[in-house]
Amino acid sequence: MLRGKVAWITGAGSGIGSAGAGALAEAGATVVLSGRRPGQLEAVAAAIAAAGGRAEIAPLDVADNQAVARVGAEIFERHGRVDILVNSAGINLPTRFWKTLTPESFAEIVGINLNGALYCIHAVLPSMRARKDGLVINVSSWAGRFETYMTGPAYNASKHAMAALTHSLNDEECVNGIRACVIYPGEVATPILKNRPKPPSSEEISRMLQPEDLGRTIRFVAEMPPRVCINEILISPTWNRFFVGGADIARG
């Protein structure tokens, strides 16, 4: 159980972030929900409260380093700690392939997926070091473990870099009691699917991982004792379209 723990979740308004927040709250943690859409955060917080959990919102664009530092300081002022950081904020764009990618769109994707995770880690590290305890969970992607065509170079680069960020954190900060886990999900039925050049069918979506599957995974990592570091988790649907293919992910 996580009673007495404080968890900060980015990308918490929907998808994996929302499910992770719900699972951590169910385990007893107080969850702080960050994302760019206050209305969605409020809905998630209300659902958590209705289930008996404790949640509060902290609207945030993780690509804004100063805003991240401010929100991190406000959480510390209210709670005196962040025990668990879940970096789940992430985007992709329809114009994702080399033939349509621009430097501006590349920077936008990397700014949220990678830099945003870095900013949040930087905000919580000092207090974790001081307590000699802390957990960082970085939500990467199957595209951060293997090369995939469908997700495009900017997303792939940012998600591969999240893995490197995680492993370097364990390398340097294990002596301070800090542990980090990178999760590489295969296809998950989340709103980001709408940003694909050709969204998958409802039948295909039903076969994918569901957000609650990742919520359970995040809770599993968080409930491990401090002596345990789960360095990485690779998780996919049984019907793995990166193996079997699909009409909407074919090269073209």
User: Which residues belong to the active site?
Assistant: 155
Axis-axis angle for helices 15-26, 38-50 (nearest 10) = 30
Q: Which of 22, 4, 13, 6 is nearest to 218 (CA)?
A: 22
Beta bridge partners of 181: 137
Q: How many helices (H) and strands (E) does the chain have?
A: 9, 7
d(CA 22, CA 18): 6
Mapping DSSP to helix (H, G, I), strand (E, B) and coil, where does residue 62 land? coil
Token pair, residue 215, equals 């919520």
